[in-house]
Amino acid sequence: MKKIGLTGGIGSGKSTVAEIFSRLGIPVFVSDRVAADLQETNEELKKEIIKIFGTSIYSDGKLNRRKVAEFVFADKKMLEQLNAAVHPAVGKAFEKFCLDNKNADYVLKESAILFEIGDDKNLDGMIVVTAPDELRIHRVMSRDGLEKEAVVQRMKNQMKQEEKVKKASHVILNDEQQLLIPQVLFVNDALLIFIC
């Protein structure tokens, strides 16, 4: 079984692409969803997060995600500390996911920061979803109700799209001009041929 990364900058549409792969029957590990769950259920991880942000970051066992985002996107050191706490726990969850799906031809690990944390070295290939910056900004503003400056700040904390494309084994353009499904089918076929 191959382990393939699926990544792209904020607002690129990687979740939409992940959903298409999922509908094709490909097991998709959504790192953000798993991380969000672990941040509220894994007691060791909760302790680490409290060390970084203080006890007020949790209320009735729920993590104040908006507050975390405000902290980490303004302070790169806090972002690094959070990543250092969360990613080992997510990595263990991914190992279990792979065992649970060991009969699949390949699995996808979807995350915005696979390159940033060096996870691409643990994977057999990388799919990068791209979109024009202005479209990405508009999508995130609409989705999250953020001001443009806040979105731009978040984009600055991620690797540039062009750098990700250089490291990709496959690229999917999600610019609302090109059809997504044929691109996903092409990549899926290429991965299946490569595996056989």
Q: Which residues are CB-contacts of 105 (< 8 A; sequence separation ≥ 6)?
A: 1, 2, 191, 192, 195
Res. 16: pLDDT tops 80: yes
pLDDT per residue over 116-160, tens digit each? 889 999 999 999 999 999 999 999 999 999 899 989 988 987 899
Mean pLDDT calculated for residue range 97-107: 97
Q: How far is CA 169 from the centre of its chain?
A: 17
pLDDT per residue over 61-98, tens digit each? 899 998 998 888 788 899 889 989 999 999 999 999 99
**Average predicted confidence (pLDDT) for the chain:** 93
CA atoms of 173 and 21, how far apart (whole Å): 15
- CB atoms under 10 Å from CB of 34, counted, come to 19
Res. 196: pLDDT tops 60: no
CA atoms of 171 and 87, how far apart (whole Å): 25
Q: What is the pTM of this model?
A: 0.89
Give the model's pLDDT for residue 178.
93
Give the model's pLDDT for residue 9.
92
Q: Which residues are CB-contacts of 135 (< 8 A; sequence separation ≥ 6)?
A: 11, 175, 176
